[in-house]
Amino acid sequence: MRITRVDVWALKLRLSEPYAVSYESIEHAVNVFLRLETDRGLVGLGCANPDLAVCNETEGGVSAALDGPARQTLMSADPLRAAQLRERLRKLLPESPAARAAVDMALFDLLGKHCGLPVYQLLGGYRDRIITSVTIGILEPEETVRRARDLTAQGFKALKLKGGLDVEQDIERVLAVRSAVGPKIRLRFDANQGYDVGQALRLVEGTRRARLELLEQPTPRDELEALDSVRRAATQLPIMADESLMGLRDAFRIARGGLADMINVKLMKCGGIWPAMEITSLARTAGIEVMVGCMDECALGIAAALSVALAHPGVVYADLDGHLDLIDDPTAAAVALKNGMISPRTLDDLECPL
């Protein structure tokens, strides 16, 4: 089998409800799509969500990477030799993890279609669905509570609150949401690097009775000693590394130093499905729990990340909601949500204009 056609294009998708994190406000999301066609009529799809703040990638950079080095590497290549292609692109595009992720997704999509199996089963098929959290951006306490009630009424069982701008207001919001949704809903908190050590520990202490499930990336990404200090002091609350972990080397550094209790693995950060599986295996060996997360990705990207979450027993949590507020997502039907559980669907069986 050979790849005979490579198509690359970008879509700017508006959010139905813009949201804020500690370092920016988001009103739309650009997704760059990749379509691979083979001489056997199979089509593989992938996508990238460039994030300048996290991955240092732009729409133009990702499109150029896919239209240039990726196209040259993929044309006429055998897509079933994915490991070889992946290694070539890792060397050609070392600073373009989201672009590499799009290629990796498309190659896995082709492999699954060639074998007649969904990707999560090819990778191990540990489970066929998983609870996902849904995110509430930084809002006033009253609006945060309203959103929390709306989402739990829709069946979501896990909420992730964003914060990091004002620790006292963050504590107020966490406690208000816990009071509003009751004890059975899982609550997670993501500071997006917004705190110093003292502020992070103030949040830990101030929200103790809310029984947070985890605290994600409380301190700046490059200040690993600060992250470790929070982890050592906050013994009753697991501390998760997100922005501090980009790829396998970061995962090894965190595991070797015991710098975090948990890590958030995202395909856009690490370069795709296969690197995410490698990181998850390393973390499991080190006794570190894994959450599979996402950027503002269309449902196609969410489906790829979900394949990792379903395949690997080392994955304990999922935060796969990046597609929910995207307007006119052409791949919206790639995953299914029911009662807070996310499960895969197959694009072969859907009307998809890609």
% of the chain surpassing 70 pLDDT: 96
Residue found by looking up tokens 């966490």 in the block: 174
Residue of higher predicted confidence among 215 and 350: 215
Quick check: 349 pLDDT over 50? Answer: no
Residue 58's closest CA among 324, 268, 321? Answer: 268
End-to-end CA distance of the chain: 21
**Local structure of 186: helix, strand or coil:** strand
The one catalytic residue among 104, 213, 228, 242: 242
Confidence of residue 354 (pLDDT cuts 50, 70, 90): low
Give the domains, in start order, of the chain with CATH numbers.
Answer: 3-116 (3.30.390.10), 121-349 (3.20.20.120)
Whole-number mean pLDDT of the chain? 94
Q: Which residues of 203-214 are buried (b: 16+ CB within 10 A; e: fewer)?
A: bbebbeebebbb
The question of whether 216 is a catalytic residue gets the answer: yes
| Residues 306, 324: Cα–Cα separation, whole Å | 14
The one catalytic residue among 51, 109, 113, 162: 162
Quick check: 351 pLDDT over 50? Answer: no
22-67 pLDDT per residue, tens: 666 677 789 999 999 999 999 999 999 998 888 899 999 999 999 9
The question of whether 296 is a catalytic residue gets the answer: no
142-168 pLDDT per residue, tens: 999 999 999 999 999 999 999 999 999
Residue of higher predicted confidence among 54 and 314: 314
Cβ neighbours of 316 (radius 10 Å): 17
| Residues 190, 321: Cα–Cα separation, whole Å | 14
The one catalytic residue among 216, 261, 297, 325: 216
What's the pLDDT score for residue 242? 98
Quick check: 341 pLDDT over 60? Answer: yes
| Residues 124, 173: Cα–Cα separation, whole Å | 39
| Residues 178, 148: Cα–Cα separation, whole Å | 9
The one catalytic residue among 190, 243, 297, 319: 190
The one catalytic residue among 113, 160, 228, 266: 266
Residue 134 · residue 158 · CB < 8 Å: yes
**Local structure of 344: helix, strand or coil:** strand
The question of whether 205 is a catalytic residue gets the answer: no
